[in-house]
A and B are shown apart, each in its own frame.
Chain A
Amino acid sequence: MSKASLSKLGDAAFERTDKVSAELLALTYGSFVRQLLIDYEDAEEVNAQLAKMGYNIGVRLVDDFLAKSNAPPCASFADTADIVAKVAFKMFLGVPALVGSWSSDRRTFSLVFTDNPLAEFTELPEKWGGVWYSNVLCGVIKGALEMVQMEVDARFVRCTLRGEDLNEIRVTLLQVLQEKPPVDDE
């Protein structure tokens, strides 16, 4: 499917999705991250908690995505990348992402986006420079793709809150999971 029609699919899926106010989302997420910072007092630990939370969201969200998006089946990891960027990002965050910086073995790509609805009103104090504020997104990507048999690693490499002009998530395909035949216990 061409990229233009994927974008249309993303727009249509976004129209069908239940909406919440962007302010409500950004402020709730912000206070949530703040509470994690108070509870864990360690940037790495907070990143891990956000990723774990995202993972648990992702494993459920993928069914909602499949039921509502009408996305075509993926023949390759490149298709998967386009669908995550053009359809899933648009459907759930309201902003599409760009796919780029493919590695030479075609197993790693970058999702790049400038507007981040999670971080709309956020400033990251210097003390918390090690926090990937929107790390929940990495967890969601990991959880969702794992449910469709792709084990991936997803991590932020650039974030506008750290003074860079873009948000960038690197996604690496670790392995395609194989279905196990049912156990014969007779």
Chain B
Amino acid sequence: MAVYCFYLFDRAGRLLCYREWSRARRTHAGEDDAKSMFGLLFALRNFCSKLSPSPLGGSPKYYITETYALHHHETPTGLRFLLLTSPDFGGADISRDLRDLYADAYVPYVVKNPLSVRGEVIRVPAFLGRLDSYVRNLSCF
């Protein structure tokens, strides 16, 4: 079991935070990687919502392939928290952990931090530290 990497996008598709733990292979270099990730999610999310029988929701929680799983949590404010893990993550609902990360780390350390500017890359050590310990405490790490 392994956690590969974490992305945080805002609604406009800006990459606010990227962290990796044990990502063995990169498909694209740097910015392209983030761009294709956001593009994929944008399309996936819109498609999933269109299939939804209810006008609310339909946002994907995760998808899984032979080699990895992608977990997704989107807030109503358009922030997207993503975590790439190995496919054997044990079926736990990691999008809930991503929601907790939003409530317990992003809101107190980024939103309530007067020095952090909206839409800019997050450099707040307290947030990055919490993120790291959150991920290391996941059962699939």
Contacts and interface: CB of A to CB of B under 8 A. Distances in A.
Contacts, number: 44
A59 interface: yes
B54 to A, nearest CB: 9
A66 B76 contact: yes
Contacts of A62: 77
Contacts of B12: 180
Given A73-B56, A73-B57, A182-B35, A64 B111 contact: yes
Contacts of A38: none
Contact of A68 (B38, B56, B103): B103
A99 B108 CA distance: 30
Interface residues of A, number: 17
Given A59-B118, A60-B111, A68-B103, A182 B42 contact: yes
A41 interface: no
Nearest to B99: A67
Interface in B5-47: 11-13, 35, 38-39, 42
Interface string B97-119: 00000110011000110000010
Contacts of A20: none
A125 to B, nearest CB: 33
A147 B57 CA distance: 17
A181 interface: yes
Interface in A55-107: 59-60, 62-64, 66-68, 73, 75
A60 B111 CA distance: 6
Contacts of A182: 13, 35, 38-39, 42
10 contacts: A62-B77, A64-B107, A64-B111, A67-B103, A67-B106, A68-B107, A75-B55, A179-B42, A182-B13, A182-B35
Interface of B: 11-13, 35, 38-39, 42, 55-57, 75-79, 102-103, 106-107, 111-112, 118
Given A63-B102, A66-B75, A182-B35, 7 more contacts: A67-B102, A73-B56, A147-B78, A179-B11, A179-B42, A179-B78, A182-B39
